[in-house]
Structure 1
Amino acid sequence: MKSRDTLIRLKRFNVDEKRRRVAQIEAMMAEFDRMAVELDREIAAEEQRAGISDLAHFAYPTYAKAARTRRDNLRDSADELKGQLTEAQAELGEAFEALKKVEILQDRERSADRAAEAAREQAAMDRIGLARVARA
């Protein structure tokens, strides 16, 4: 029984670790998206200041060009994280299933123990009852 409790604790820790990983990836994706939106605003403001929005124009602002590159890199990174998120979610599902299997086994074992204990108690009560009947 003690080893099963240790196994359940280990499985729960594993599930919690996988949940943290999923949450971390989701937070990184949200942060990248937020940064990309901010860069979009900065690009628009820089283009408006310069009065040039044509990327091919020779006088296109250098800062806007660099900001576009950075924004595109952030979006690429967010797209790469989507694959990692899918994988992490699958691992979380597998870890959760493994935990549930062990918990179900433990519940069955406890139910069997309770049933055996109830049968022992009933047998003891039956013996007491038969002893009283025999004395009477």
Structure 2
Amino acid sequence: MTALNSLVRVHQWELDEKRQKLADMERLLDKLQNDLMQIEQAYESEKKIATTSPEAAAAFPNYADAVKLRRKRIQDSMQVLSVSIEDAREEVRASFQELKKYQTAESNELRREKAKRAKREQQALDEVGLNLYRRRTARRA
């Protein structure tokens, strides 16, 4: 295992970790969006009930205040999380570019090694061919 191979593996692992972190944040954002939709649906349902029942109408203002507060907290969390997601995406992009540099260097090194090996093999084959030629010409003379 070459040093470049080790660097590629380390950077691949780092990239995978950053992608996982990004995916977790995106799942959390989706959950918050779903929670917000559920709150809105529950609010509309309670609003309809409050129009038909005097007891529910009396309690509805307190419920509405609690819903506003919860909605605001979720929206604030979503904004903070959106910024964090953009930062994480930038980290993933930077990590991917870094990984590509090492993968390219590793690929170039492998290609050079393969070319060297092919050249050595060709030289050995040329030497064998040259020796055979010399032997044949020596026998004829």
- Do Structure 1 and Structure 2 share a fold, with TM-score over 0.5? yes
- Cα drift, residue 99 of structure 1: 0.7
Paired position in structure 1 for 2:100: 100
Q: Return the alpha-carbon distance in structure 2 between the equivalents of residues 71 and 59 of structure 1.
A: 18
| Residues 99-118 of structure 1: pairs in structure 2 closer than 5 A | 99-118=99-118
Q: Return the alpha-carbon distance in structure 2 between the equivalents of residues 94 and 109 of structure 1.
A: 23
Alignment size in residue pairs: 131
Higher helix share: 2
Paired position in structure 2 for 1:21: 21
Which of structures 1 and 2 has the larger relative contact order (alpha carbons within 8 angstroms, sep 6+)? 2
**Aligned AA (1:32):** L
Contact 2:4 2:105 in 1 (8 A): no
Q: Return the alpha-carbon distance in structure 2 between the equivalents of residues 2 and 124 of structure 1.
A: 26
Contact 1:26 1:85 in 2 (8 A): yes
- Cα drift, residue 59 of structure 1: 6.6
In our comparison, the structure showing a higher alpha carbon Rg is 2
Q: TM-score, normalised by structure 1?
A: 0.90
Paired position in structure 2 for 1:131: 131
Structure 2: unaligned runs, 5 residues or longer? 53-57, 137-141
Paired position in structure 1 for 2:91: 91
- Cα drift, residue 94 of structure 1: 0.5
Contact 1:22 1:88 in 2 (8 A): yes
Q: CA RMSD in A?
A: 1.7
Runs of 4+ in 1 over 4 A off after TM superposition: none
| Residues 22-101 of structure 1: pairs in structure 2 closer than 5 A | 22-51=22-51, 60-101=60-101
Q: TM-score, normalised by structure 2?
A: 0.87
Paired position in structure 2 for 1:122: 122
Q: Return the alpha-carbon distance in structure 2 between the equivalents of residues 73 and 44 of structure 1.
A: 19
